[in-house]
Structure 1
Amino acid sequence: MQDYEPDDVDFALIHALQIEPRASWKALAPALAVDPVTLSRRYQRLLNAGLIWITGYDPGTPGRGALIEIECAPGQSVSTAEAISEDPMVASIDFTAGGRDLLLTLMAEDSVDTSRFLLHRLGEYPAIRRARTHLITEVLFEAGNWRLRTLSAEQVAKVPAARPPRPRAARTVAPGLKRLIHHELGIDGRAPTTAIAERAGVSNQRITDAIATMRRDGSLRLRTDVARTYSEWPIYAWYFMQVPAPLVERLRTSLGKIEEVRLAVLVASEYNLIMAVWLRTLNDVHRFELLLEKLLPGSRVADRSVVMQIGKHLGHILDDRGRATGPVVSMISPDPT
């Protein structure tokens, strides 16, 4: 993979794509003061270097997702992660230091699939010594809302919003077509509608309408991710917390103001809140813990883990520098079979 060091224009482009992942280069040009051809070329260079990837996914409903802590036999964490990464239900895999070797993010079709994976499929990996499961009951904040903060407020305002469905567009999307769109955009969030239409055997306008409808009703989310080691937040950590129930409501409004937070979920386990954060230095791991306990009086950080390496992220296989390398493992098959 060709190495490439992104510059300020690249980071501005990434920020803009975090706001609207499928914005056209022509639409982004005024906000970034860069011509469309240059934006297209820079995006392709970032993509080829594995520094950026855009993913479409179905956020689903509570009860179908989980975080799973894995302890492996000595020396078996890499081979175990490689084997598990082939499972489309496993969206992400982190190699962690601390009380676990791997931390998996599971995105299942429904609660039945979640149970099937936990009760049966995990047993297919002989090197797993122990697994602890935290069922996600609610997502308070997710990384699709996280931003680089490179653009000014004026530039952010110029980034076009996603187009709403046409007034004539169908109000619902057929399950088979929805599944195909999830599959194609799970591999490439900027996949052209013409390519998806050809695969589906329908018109380009129908795909355009379906994507807009799914984004409006919340059954499709798009997010732009950047290789962490190339950002200003190279340290990645997980916090496992016990938070008094009355404070949970405060979290709903305050988490978006804490720039380090990437993910915050309520879980049904010995903890009730698990958070993933990006930090600037390793020393910030403890400083951030103190900040959390100050912001949430009565809360306790019961455990924490620093991520040494990301093996898989939303279906994208990453290298030891956090760059997307492929192959992409779609989180959903194109048809029910």
Structure 2
Amino acid sequence: MQPDDVRIIRALQIAPRASFAAIATALGLAEGTVNRRYRRLRADGVIRVAGVVNPGALGQSRWLVRLRCRPGSGAAIADALARRDDVNWVALSAAGSEVTCATQSRTREQREDLLGQRLPRTAAVIDIHAFAMLRQFLGGRGHYWSALQGTLSQEEEAALGRDSPPFTESPVVAREPLRLTPEDERMLDALAADGRAGLVDLARAASLTPGRVSRRLDALLQHRAVHIDVEIAAAALGCHVRAHLWLRVHPSALKSAGRTLAREPEVVFAAAVSGPWNLHAVAHCRDLDELFEFTSERIGSLAGLQSMEVSPVLKYVKQAGTRLSGDRLVEPSSARPRRREAGSRPAGQVEAGSRGTGQRDRL
């Protein structure tokens, strides 16, 4: 990538739905240049802008799941999970025998079907460990990744403004859940396919007027029911090593440790979780030596840290709702399918053997 490519990515992190004209004015570039570079970055799988629904705003919890699989079966299970709309990201670790994923089920029935029925019945799954996300310290909006801070001047960032509220530490589940209308659902489907879709396109998808779509989208953004995420292929920025960090921190130091992690440029996600590992983070580093220095010096010196497990990622299959091919993001062929009733099977899922039934089941 060229320096202007990185500047455009940073501008999108700050204002993902800003017009090309507004970005060009803020960065001192030609509008055609911004348009052309953005489309090339998107076509090359370097970035993708997409609307991501926050299940916490709808009253549902999010879970992290670690699966230990039989040798040779991890890739198929990871692919099956990645095909589900209620699984946000999927990673393979431990030479392909461990799958880690994050669920974002929209209903309790959907969550219980996956965690309580389908995964336990899959013969290739040896162990399941599920962790409820208790408090999110970092994540949920593209601009959170501080690795790109300093790419733009303060004046350039101020000129961009923000078309959605920045991420701040908050409870995972809202005390007053928001109810989505059928029109909201159709608009969110369109945003999932393209987070920069214009108001006219969103209005057509939702069968509303552009004015009503604009007001409703603003309300959903303010209530954090949806955020416009700028997903980045980390390898394009030189980060070729990714790792999951599982930390055990003294309860009295958990909040301060989570906030410290959120300020580290290598960390792209951090949350307090249930279970013996009460703090989880995802780190992106240039190489294994940088990962070692980061975990041994800065993470190792965290106040209250009792123990830590570093699990390097072999391969990301899905991140923030976007499938990956190698190190590149894959654009969906179309807007994702209509949402299904709780407990119904998503179409086209990979089958896995079921324990004790002699039949085949789907994840």
TM-score, length-scaled by structure 1: 0.88
Cα distance, 1:83 vs structure 2: 1.9
1:78 to 71, 75, 82: 75
Q: 3-state SS of the aligned residue for 1:236?
A: strand
Point out where structure 1 has 5 or more consecutive residues left out of the alignment. Answer: 1-5, 165-171
Count of aligned pairs between the two proteins: 324
- 1:313 CA displacement: 1.4
Percent identity of equivalent pairs:
22
Q: Choose the corresponding residue for 2:249, options 243, 247, 251.
A: 243
Whole-angstrom CA distance in 1 between matches of 2:281 and 2:20 = 34
Q: Which residue of 1 aligns with 2:39?
A: 44
Aligned partners of 1:91, 1:333: CA distance in 2, in Å?
17
Residue aligning to 2:3: 8
Indicate if the aligned counterparts of 2:318 and 2:324 stay in contact, CA closer than 8 A: yes
Residue 60 of structure 1 corresponds to 55
Partner of 2:202, secondary structure, is: helix
How far is the alpha carbon of 1:130 from its aligned partner?
Answer: 2.0
CA distance, structure 2, for counterparts of residue 174 and residue 119 of structure 1:
26
Decide whether the 8 Å contact of 1:16 with 1:156 is kept in 2.
Answer: yes
Q: State whether residues 66 and 128 of structure 2, in contact with CA within 8 Å, keep that contact through their aligned partners in structure 1.
A: yes
Which of 270, 273, 283 does residue 267 from structure 1 map onto?
273
Partners of 1:309 and 1:297 lie apart in 2 by 31
Residues 1:146 and 2:141 are matched in the alignment: no
Q: Distance in 1 between matches of 2:125 and 2:335?
A: 22
Distance 1:279 1:115, change over 3 A: same
Question: Counterparts in 2 of 1:30-41, with a 5 A limit?
Answer: 30-41=25-36
Q: 1:256 to 1:275 in 2, by over 3 A?
A: closer
The answer (yes or no) to whether the contact 1:88–1:329 under 8 Å persists in 2 is no
1:139 to partner: Cα distance: 0.9
Kindly tell me: are residues 153 and 286 of structure 1, through their superposed partners in 2, closer, same or farther at Cα, counting changes over 3 Å? same
Shift of residue 26 of structure 1?
1.0
Structure 2: give runs of 5+ residues left out of the alignment: 166-177, 343-363
| Partner residue, 1:169 | none
Structure 1 match to 2:104: 107
* Other structure's SS at 1:16 match: helix
Q: Which moved more, 1:250-259 or 1:279-288?
A: 250-259
Q: Is 221-230 or 285-294 further displaced after alignment? A: 285-294
Partners of 2:283 and 2:334 lie apart in 1 by: 24
Are 1:161 and 2:162 matched, yes or no? yes
Measured after TM superposition, the shift of residue 322 of structure 1 is 3.4
Q: Distance in 2 between matches of 1:86 and 1:329?
A: 14
Q: Which residue of 2 aligns with 1:310?
A: 316
Contact kept, 8 Å, 2:13 with 2:230, in 1: the verdict is: yes
Q: Which amino acid aligns with 2:160?
A: V
* Equivalent in the alignment of 1:28: 23
Cα distance between partner residues in 2 of 1:293 and 1:39: 38
Question: For the residues of structure 2 that align with 1:100 and 1:264, how far apart are their CA atoms?
Answer: 24
1:104 match: secondary structure? strand
Distance 1:53 1:126 in 2: 35
Cα distance in 1, alignment partners of residues 121 and 205 from structure 2: 34
Q: Displacement of 1:336 after TM fit?
A: 5.9
How far apart are residue 314 of structure 1 and its match? Answer: 2.0
Aligned to 1:122: 119
Paired residue for 1:202, among 208, 216, 220? 208
Calculate the aligned-residue CA RMSD, in Å.
2.5
* CA–CA separation in structure 1 for the residues paired with 2:224 and 2:242: 28
Q: Partners of 2:129 and 2:164 in 1: how far apart?
A: 42
